[in-house]
Amino acid sequence: MAENDPLFEIRDRAVVIAGAGGGLGSETARVLHRRGAQLILFDIDETRLRAVEADCPGVVAQVGDITDEAQLRAIIAEGMGKFGRIDGAVNAAGLLPMEPSLNASLATFRECIEVNLTGAFQMSQVVAQAMGENGRIIHLASVSSLVANAQYAAYASSKAALSQMVRVLAREWAPKNITVNAIGPAMIETPMTEGYLAKPEFREQAIAVIPMGRLAEPGDLMGTIILLLAEGGAFITGQTIYVDGGRTLV
């Protein structure tokens, strides 16, 4: 696919990326930057955010928490001030707690919902207000939006709710030509998952339930992200697209 293919052209589109310092967010930022997008990046981890900023000259980059409305509005305002508009948004911020449900921490459950769901709604709302008419919003959901894994009560609940939220926002904002979608990857090796995947038994089990026989990689998601931001994805909305090597077929 040529980078100047009009179906997949994203050059000069102003795109917000939440969680831009993480494994998925940083790959998204670097790929979109190489394709000429104008980026507004934020992450709660300043060290990781600055590393991405160094690789992507000309971006707006601020330390920020997706659950903090004032910080979100300040980041969007800075992006609007530099680029004059917001065309798209990719939300790659999130938490992945795993613990036995019988003795799970209620505080951990609430924090997971706050970041993965409430933060996603808040970002959608702030971004959509800035877009006005015409825009693309993408959230990173999970195969856990659909499948049930033991010890995933908080995470799976947040991601299942996220997928339904995407459907509601998509239906409500379609008349404004704002599309809202999610991508549901299988287990990906990123800084968020590396502690779990370092355990041989966990890694073996994670791979065993993926028919293609491997973990996902950040690069596996980039084609879908580009599609949903570009003209080729203009009529796709309200969907959770599973990029999962067949995980949701099991």
Q: Annotated active-site positions, please?
A: 155
**Dihedral-angle region of residue 5 (phi above 0 means left; psi in -120 to 50 means alpha; beta otherwise):** beta
In DSSP terms, 185 is beta-bridged to 243
Query: Amino acid identity, residue 34?
Result: R
Closest CA to 221 of 242, 200, 206: 242
